[in-house]
């Protein structure tokens, strides 16, 4: 797999890549470069020919330099590569990389293309893809002007108003790799401006092909206008035969034009506010004003500006100059500017509509302030769908078992604004031919397309009977573009479903008998929602925030239903033990089977209530799993399915089941296509094809922020997504102040081998010693076994790679990523400083943000600096701490997550460390997670502590010394590895 990075170099898109299969060695293509430039080749860089073969874009091969953090031997691999590098003190170093240089005309289509599976875009390339979309949008809206740049005719983006704000946001969000090519002092603003202008120029040329204008390239003696037009629209931007005086005059005129267009970027801009007429009148008032570009709420009417009421220098001149430029966009302004102090203008209804439909969008796009009535821009006409259950009544239907094949009465009504109108009223509106009308006291905008669509709808059948499934399909479809479905009124179970608030409308199901523990009120509401969807034969996404108990709610559903057919649960390998343990804890009556590993038995699949497997195993055993009649398929950490084209997503969709459930705290991470993929798993075909979804929802929402498409998508998907946040007051009141959970982790085969070797070696030593020496050997054995549970590199101390070798590390990485993604802060405690030294650079690279590291070797000043940075910083942060150095005496209330990676089996010590976050001043609920490796001494000692809780102070209060007094046989049982717990 190639991880492709992007930047902008010498006017072209520069592409280079890391090869994830290239762990060591140098690129032979760059060996000559090393001796000439003394810049070492990037160790993981892909060769240019292989890169050119993988990427579908015409390009020129080159060798470039890129500044990246790393050691003197190798740069740190990117987080997307999955590789790891070691650098005790990473510093910025220049490396040479084979690259492809892509012309701007070819860059935009490539940046918006979908990877084919042989390569994946890194953060920098995804960022440039977003810049390309911004460029296309600017061209669609005409937000560009021609310029003469070094003898070439070029289009440049005009950035005013919201576009200027978007540019600043893009510059702040630029990944460092985008400006790492060539000079190391590249400014984000300069790199972004160059890339955006060239992408805008390319997009404009595609929009105005040369052949539509002249069909040939004029010579140097042709009129300047002809030469200029072809240079602006053809492939060659050079202006042929331009004399120096001719070029200078053209450049000055174009620069003045561009500067005038950019003038709205000053401290104040001209603003227009349209006020409605009073009842029964036809006189609208368009007020002129000045408005702060930084604070739109700071608004000074033109009348006050001329009286000296504005704080900006020469405010009256700014106002008059801005109004003068606005005449080009709104010619009706001309008459009002004849007054010496123009403060506004009167409009009739036709003039008001002209301003709303034509002038206001142009002025807004040009950077002027525009304030319109609240109803402006909203669709005037729409449809309302009303459904009613059959006369037997909702209660009877529920009692009989409502299903999606149930017939309901339906009616479609026409809506104007928020009011229902009948066909006769619609015909009157159509005859009036007035696009801006007052309906029952409210102004509404209408256009011919909407009226024609509404009249067609009047002629179609508007009431009768439909199945509940057909009603659901109509709601998901959302109506026609000109006549959308704007309201749904349904009763009974269908109303509960379509409301998107079923969890609140349904009667909560109390904790089912057989479930050990008590569900909290919001969890009971979640159970009622899950059960409701299950009865209808529908799937859903339980998207509760991390820590709100998705596992408990799912298990309670299985206990409450107890189907004759099994449930298949698919999850990452790091969560298999966690699910098995939680099922044993909360639902001991369920028969649980783990389908994973070399000894998996296909014959056992239909003999259990719950079968747990991994995404990898589900893919490998797809044919076997498809043969079982599953009642339900559950996917945990379902963001693994967010890319619908991956083999594991296809495999999950291919397993047949009565219903499906996706569990994910982050149902949408990057773009809306991920939501389609999850819902395609839960309810196949619900949202149509991915192409239909893209045109109906994704493109209008992501590219144009279309509020109607957003509302339609929420109406279509709301019934199938339950999302609760910890910030919700109704949820917070249900949560404890401190929630402690155990996180069960699995040993990798490498860890299991090392663990068994340590047990064999240490037991031989322990059995041959006595007294103090024996006690020391027992403690040494425990230390070494705990190091194995952490990571093989922790025991071996060989500086080897970290990824993929430890179940604990995999789980820690996932949790830290989720904490950061939620915008929160977490403490990670380890009792071993050497392990923390391994974790800090690794987590920092994976999370792509600083990870603080506090240990006993720091000075007090440095310690205080880290604490202050963590407590006062606004960014989500992970703070890695040594238990001994930071277990007491610190106030770290900025954190609301505490993770104990390796257990100190003294509850008092762990509680003291937890209390760094859980103390006076903490305003959030604190979630405490304690990592335990299943099948190891960590699990057995945890069981001993649980059995002896009543004697905890006496038995465990002295630390770990109590273990040293156990007999040799007891120690052997304590240390022994359970083979079934190995990944």
- The 10s digit of each residue's pLDDT in 444-457 is 777 667 777 777 77
Phi/psi class of residue 551: alpha, beta or left (left: φ > 0; alpha: ψ in -120 to 50)?
alpha
d(C-alpha 235, C-alpha 102), whole Å: 15
User: What is the band of 620 on the pLDDT scale with cuts at 50, 70, 90?
Assistant: very high
Residues 773 and 819 in one domain: yes
DSSP at 548: S
**Residue 962 confidence (pLDDT):** 52
Higher-confidence residue: 393 or 638?
Answer: 638
Angle (CA) 332-338-344 rounded to 5° is 60
Residues 199 and 288 in one domain: no
Question: Is residue 514 a part of any domain in this protein?
Answer: yes
* Mean pLDDT computed over 85-109: 80
Domain count, the chain: 5
Rounded mean pLDDT of the chain? 80
Tens digit of pLDDT for each residue in 542-561?
Answer: 988 776 889 999 999 999 99
Question: Is residue 320 a part of any domain in this protein?
Answer: yes
Three-state DSSP state, 828: strand
User: What is the band of 852 on the pLDDT scale with cuts at 50, 70, 90?
Assistant: very high
d(C-alpha 503, C-alpha 552), whole Å: 16
pLDDT-above-90 percentage for the chain: 22
User: What is the band of 700 on the pLDDT scale with cuts at 50, 70, 90?
Assistant: confident
Burial class (CB in 10 A: 0-12, 13-18, 19+), 30: buried
Q: Looking at residue 565, which CATH number applies to its domain? A: 3.40.50.10810
Residue 540 C-beta-side C-alpha neighbours within 13 Å: 28
Question: Is residue 171 a part of any domain in this protein?
Answer: yes
Three-state DSSP state, 238: strand
Residues 101 and 165 in one domain: yes
* Mean pLDDT computed over 879-893: 78
**Looking at 450, 479, 498, which one is the last position of a domain?**
498
Q: Looking at residue 943, which CATH number applies to its domain? A: 3.40.50.300
**Residue 592 confidence (pLDDT):** 94
* Mean pLDDT computed over 482-504: 75
Question: Do the beta carbons of residue 396 and residue 423 sit within 8 Å?
Answer: no
DSSP at 827: E
Residues 440 and 525 in one domain: no
H helix intervals, 550-672: 550-561, 576-586, 615-620, 622-625, 647-654
Q: How far is CA 671 from CA 197, 652, 674, 701, in A?
A: 25, 21, 6, 10
Question: Is residue 187 a part of any domain in this protein?
Answer: yes
* Mean pLDDT computed over 900-912: 75
For residue 276, give both structure tokens: 């409605």
For residue 923, give both structure tokens: 């305003």
Higher-confidence residue: 32 or 301?
Answer: 301
Question: Is residue 556 a part of any domain in this protein?
Answer: yes
**Residue the block writes with tokens 């950019």:** 262
Residues 897 and 749 in one domain: yes
Most confidently modeled of 121-125, 271-275, 422-426? 271-275
Residues 420 and 323 in one domain: no
**Residue 830 confidence (pLDDT):** 92
Question: Is residue 426 a part of any domain in this protein?
Answer: yes
* Mean pLDDT computed over 133-161: 85
**Residue 85 confidence (pLDDT):** 56
User: What is the band of 28 on the pLDDT scale with cuts at 50, 70, 90?
Assistant: very low
DSSP at 46: P
**Residue 9 confidence (pLDDT):** 87
**Residue 662 confidence (pLDDT):** 94
d(C-alpha 487, C-alpha 747), whole Å: 53
Instruction: Report the first-to-last Cα separation within the chain, whole angstroms.
Output: 25
Residues in contact with 151: Cβ distance below 8 Å, sequence separation at least 6, in sequence order: 238, 239, 242, 247
d(C-alpha 365, C-alpha 756), whole Å: 69
Higher-confidence residue: 643 or 757?
Answer: 757
Residues 71 and 201 in one domain: yes
What is the sign of the dihedral through the CA atoms of 170, 171, 173 and 174?
positive
Question: Is residue 215 a part of any domain in this protein?
Answer: no
- 966-969 long-range contacts (CB < 8 A, ≥24 apart) are 966/778, 968/763, 968/766, 968/767
Residues 576 and 428 in one domain: no
Question: Do the beta carbons of residue 55 and residue 15 sit within 8 Å?
Answer: yes
Residues spanned by the domain of 385: 381-498
Burial class (CB in 10 A: 0-12, 13-18, 19+), 223: exposed
Residues 537 and 587 in one domain: yes
Residues 619 and 490 in one domain: no
* Mean pLDDT computed over 902-931: 76
329-343, 392-406, 435-449: which range is least confident on average? 392-406
Could you tell me which of 201, 168, 171, 204 has the C-alpha nearest to residue 186?
171
Residue 45 CA, distance from chain mean position: 28
Residues in contact with 355: Cβ distance below 8 Å, sequence separation at least 6, in sequence order: 274, 286, 330, 332, 347
Is residue 26 pLDDT above 50, yes or no? Answer: no
Residues 656 and 623 in one domain: yes
Higher-confidence residue: 366 or 854?
Answer: 854
**Looking at 371, 390, 419, which one is the last position of a domain?**
371
Q: How many residues does the chain have?
A: 983
What is the sign of the dihedral through the CA atoms of 187, 866, 821 and 920?
negative
Has this prediction a pTM greater than 0.95? no
Residues 677 and 714 in one domain: yes
Tens digit of pLDDT for each residue in 281-310?
Answer: 778 899 999 988 767 778 899 999 998 888
Three-state DSSP state, 251: helix
Question: Is residue 273 a part of any domain in this protein?
Answer: yes
User: What is the band of 342 on the pLDDT scale with cuts at 50, 70, 90?
Assistant: very high
Tens digit of pLDDT for each residue in 514-532?
Answer: 999 899 888 998 999 999 8
Cite the beta strand spans of 336-449 per DSSP E: 344-347, 369-371, 381-389, 407-416, 419-421, 436-439, 442-445
Higher-confidence residue: 93 or 877?
Answer: 877
**Looking at 205, 226, 248, which one is the last position of a domain?**
205
């Amino acid at each position: 797999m190639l991880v492709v990075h992007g930047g902008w170099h010498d006017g072209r898109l520069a592409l280079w890549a890391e090869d994830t299969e290239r762990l060591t060695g140098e690129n032979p293509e760059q060996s000559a470069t090393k001796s000439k430039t003394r810049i070492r080749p990037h160790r993981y860089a892909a060769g240019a020919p292989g890169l050119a073969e993988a990427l579908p874009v015409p390009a020129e091969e080159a060798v470039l330099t890129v500044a990246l953090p790393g050691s003197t031997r190798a740069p740190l691999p990117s987080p997307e590569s999955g590789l790891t590098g070691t650098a005790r003190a990473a510093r910025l170093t220049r490396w040479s990389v084979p690259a492809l240089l892509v012309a701007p005309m070819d860059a935009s289509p490539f940046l918006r293309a979908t990877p084919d599976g042989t390569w994946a875009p890194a953060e920098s390339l995804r960022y440039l893809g977003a810049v390309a979309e911004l460029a296309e949008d600017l061209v669609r809206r005409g937000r560009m002007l021609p310029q003469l740049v070094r003898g070439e005719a070029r289009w440049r983006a005009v950035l005013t108003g919201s576009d200027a704000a978007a540019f600043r946001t893009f510059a702040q969000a630029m990944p460092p790799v985008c400006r790492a090519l060539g000079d190391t002092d590249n400014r984000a603003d300069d790199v972004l401006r160059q890339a955006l202008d060239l992408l805008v120029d390319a997009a404009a040329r595609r929009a105005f092909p040369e052949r539509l204008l002249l069909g040939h390239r004029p010579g140097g003696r042709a009129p300047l206008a002809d030469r200029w037009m072809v240079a602006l629209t053809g492939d060659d931007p050079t202006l042929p035969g331009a004399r120096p005086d001719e070029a200078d005059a053209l450049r000055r005129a174009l620069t003045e034009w561009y500067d005038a267009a950019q003038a709205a970027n000053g401290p104040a801009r001209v603003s227009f506010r349209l006020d409605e007429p009073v009842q029964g009148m036809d006189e609208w008032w368009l007020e002129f004003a000045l408005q702060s570009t930084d604070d739109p709420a700071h608004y000074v009417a033109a009348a006050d500006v001329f009286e000296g009421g504005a704080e900006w220098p020469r405010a009256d001149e700014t106002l008059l100059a801005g109004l003068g430029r606005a005449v080009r966009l709104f010619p009706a302004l001309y008459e009002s500017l004849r007054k010496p102090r123009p403060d506004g203008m009167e409009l009739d209804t036709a003039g008001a509509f002209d301003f709303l439909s034509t002038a206001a969008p142009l002025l807004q796009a040009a950077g002027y302030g525009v304030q319109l009535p609240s109803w402006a821009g909203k669709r005037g006409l729409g449809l309302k769908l009303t459904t009613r259950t059959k006369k037997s009544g909702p209660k009877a239907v529920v009692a009989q078992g409502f299903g999606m094949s149930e017939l309901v009465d339906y009616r479609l009504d026409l809506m104007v604004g928020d009011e229902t109108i009948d066909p006769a009223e619609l015909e009157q509106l159509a005859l009036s031919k007035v696009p801006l009308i007052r309906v029952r006291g409210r102004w509404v905008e209408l256009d011919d397309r909407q009226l024609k669509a509404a009249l067609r709808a009047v002629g179609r059948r508007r009431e009768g009977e439909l199945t509940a499934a057909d009603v659901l399909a109509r709601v998901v479809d959302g109506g026609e573009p000109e006549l959308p479905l704007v309201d749904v009124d349904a009763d009974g179970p269908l109303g509960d479903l379509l409301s998107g608030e079923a969890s609140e409308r349904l009667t909560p199901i109390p904790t089912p008998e057989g479930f050990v523990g008590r569900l909290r009120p919001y969890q009971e509401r979640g159970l009622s929602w899950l059960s409701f969807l299950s009865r209808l034969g529908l799937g859903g996404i339980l998207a509760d925030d991390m820590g709100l108990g998705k596992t408990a709610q799912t298990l309670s559903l299985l206990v409450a239903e107890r189907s004759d057919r099994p449930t298949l649960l698919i999850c990452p390998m790091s969560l298999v033990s966690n699910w098995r343990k939680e099922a044993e804890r909360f639902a001991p009556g369920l028969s649980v089977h783990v389908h994973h590993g070399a000894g998996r038995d296909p014959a056992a699949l239909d003999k259990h209530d719950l079968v747990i497997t991994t995404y990898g195993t589900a893919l490998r055993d797809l044919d076997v799993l498809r043969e079982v009649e599953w009642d339900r398929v559950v996917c945990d950490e379902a963001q693994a399915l967010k890319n619908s084209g991956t083999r594991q997503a296809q495999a999950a969709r291919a397993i047949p089941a009565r219903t499906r459930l996706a569990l994910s705290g982050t149902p949408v991470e990057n773009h809306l296509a991920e939501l389609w993929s999850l819902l395609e798993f839960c309810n196949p075909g619900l949202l149509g094809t991915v192409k239909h979804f893209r045109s109906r929802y994704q493109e209008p929402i992501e590219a144009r922020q279309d509020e109607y498409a957003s509302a339609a998508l929420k109406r279509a998907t709301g019934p199938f997504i339950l999302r609760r946040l910890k910030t919700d007051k109704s949820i917070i009141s249900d949560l404890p102040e401190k929630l402690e959970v155990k996180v069960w982790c699995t040993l990798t085969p490498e860890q299991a081998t090392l663990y068994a070797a340590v047990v064999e070696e240490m037991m031989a030593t322990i059995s041959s010693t006595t007294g103090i020496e024996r006690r020391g050997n027992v403690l040494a054995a425990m230390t070494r076994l705990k190091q194995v549970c952490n990571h093989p590199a922790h025991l071996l101390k060989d500086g080897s790679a970290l990824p993929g070798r430890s179940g604990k590390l995999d789980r820690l990485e996932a949790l830290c990523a989720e904490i950061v993604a939620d915008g929160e802060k977490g403490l990670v405690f380890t009792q071993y400083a050497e392990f923390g030294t391994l974790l800090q650079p690794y987590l920092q690279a994976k999370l792509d943000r600083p990870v603080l590291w506090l240990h006993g070797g720091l000075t007090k000043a440095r310690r205080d600096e880290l604490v202050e940075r963590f407590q006062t910083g606004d960014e989500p942060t992970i703070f890695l701490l040594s238990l001994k150095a930071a277990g007491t005496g610190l106030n770290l209330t900025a954190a609301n997550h505490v993770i104990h990676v390796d257990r100190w089996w003294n509850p008092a010590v762990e509680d003291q460390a937890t209390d760094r976050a859980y103390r006076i001043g903490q305003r959030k609920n604190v979630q405490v997670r304690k990592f335990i490796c299943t099948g190891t001494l960590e699990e057995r000692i945890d069981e001993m502590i649980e059995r002896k809780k009543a004697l905890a102070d006496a038995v465990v209060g002295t630390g770990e010394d109590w273990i040293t007094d156990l007999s040799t046989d007891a120690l052997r049982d304590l240390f022994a590895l359970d083979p079934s717990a190995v990944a």
